Structure 1
Amino acid sequence: MTGFYHVCFVVPDIERAMDDLRRAAGVEWSAPASDRLGEWDYRIVFTTGGPPFIELIEGPSDSPWDASKGARFDHVGFWTSDVRQGSRRLEDEGMPLDFSGCPYGRPFAYHRMDSVGARVELVDFARQADFLDRWHPDGKPMPSIDETSTG
């Protein structure tokens, strides 16, 4: 299945996680960015070098990226041409919606995938150009899950 472009860990200390993964796996990082969604301030960073990316998010307690009980693998991210339609499909497949950024003006959604203890993230394909400009400026466009899924 393509459209896949990253894995994400939520972490209580983004610099420590970046350093550990750099030493363990030799990955390089973009500079972390700070952002806000709703009432939550968070920090985010992606590896350089192209897909698949590793994403780290450091978020506050009670946020969608709460790591107050320790770092954890959080989600697998995919591009989609329609977040709402993709969310309906995942719900029909038994993966309930866990959090949607859509009400906050951010076209993404997390769905629980209890069989692996993580979430699936769908991100609107329309955001890909901005993503590439910010995190992978020399990168080529990536397909969406809808373009490559066989059903």
Structure 2
Amino acid sequence: MTAFYHVCFVVPDLTPTMHDLQRAAGVEWGDPVSDRLGEWDYRIVFTAGGPPFIELIEGPSDSPWDASEGARFDHIGFWTSDVRHGSRRLEAEGMPVDFSGCPYGRPFAYHRMDSIGARIELVDVGRQAGFLHRWHPSGEPMPAIGEEPGN
């Protein structure tokens, strides 16, 4: 079971993108966070206005968030009650795993969805409370876990 909560753009530089989206759409941003996954250092930020969120990721070349060829729409994110089960279902539907954070101790997986030219991200709902604490501490609750994407 899953619930939609964000869209993500991979960008070469967070700062000008944050400014552009703030000017164009009036969105507010949390503070960018630097992190590391495997061999890749990256920066990430989410809008502060509540669901659905906009996520921006700035990652190095040859990483899952490589923007060396320019900014792009990267994925639609869903909370899931079971990343492995959801991944098996998406693979069976013809959406192969593009990258999994599970081997790095992060319960998420990206699946290619060629029909939209982007990925679907499944994130374990066990991370939701920490996500909300960081990015949406005073907001409304997230939607309940519902049907898998595509059902």
Q: Tell me if TM exceeds 0.5.
A: yes
Residue in 2 that maps onto 1:99: 99
Alpha-carbon separation, structure 2, partners of 1:102 and 1:30: 26
Shift of 1:2: 6.7
- Summarize deviations over 1:19-75 as a string: whole Å, max 9, x none: 000011110100100000000000000001100000000000000000000000000
Residue in 2 that maps onto 1:125: 125
Residue in 2 that maps onto 1:68: 68
Give the length in aligned residue pairs: 149
- Summarize deviations over 1:97-140 as a string: whole Å, max 9, x none: 00000000000000000001000000000000000001110134
Alpha-carbon separation, structure 2, partners of 1:120 and 1:140: 24
**Unpaired runs of 5+ in structure 1?**
none
Alignment identity in percent?
A: 80
Alpha-carbon separation, structure 2, partners of 1:41 and 1:95: 27
Mapped contact 1:129–1:141 kept (Cα < 8 A)? no
**Unpaired runs of 5+ in structure 2?**
none
| Secondary structure in structure 1 of the residue aligned to 2:142 | coil
Q: Normalising by the residue count of structure 1, what TM-score does the alignment of the two structures yield?
A: 0.95
Q: Verify: 1:38 aligned to 2:32, yes or no.
A: no
Alignment of structure 1 residues 109-148 onto 2, 5 Å: 109-143=109-143, 147-148=145-146
Alpha-carbon separation, structure 2, partners of 1:140 and 1:101: 28
Counterpart code for 1:91? E
Counterpart code for 1:54? I
| Secondary structure in structure 2 of the residue aligned to 1:115 | helix
Residue in 1 that maps onto 2:47: 47
Q: Verify: 1:17 aligned to 2:13, yes or no.
A: no
Q: Normalising by the residue count of structure 2, what TM-score does the alignment of the two structures yield?
A: 0.95
**RMSD value, Cα:** 1.5
Counterpart code for 1:149? E
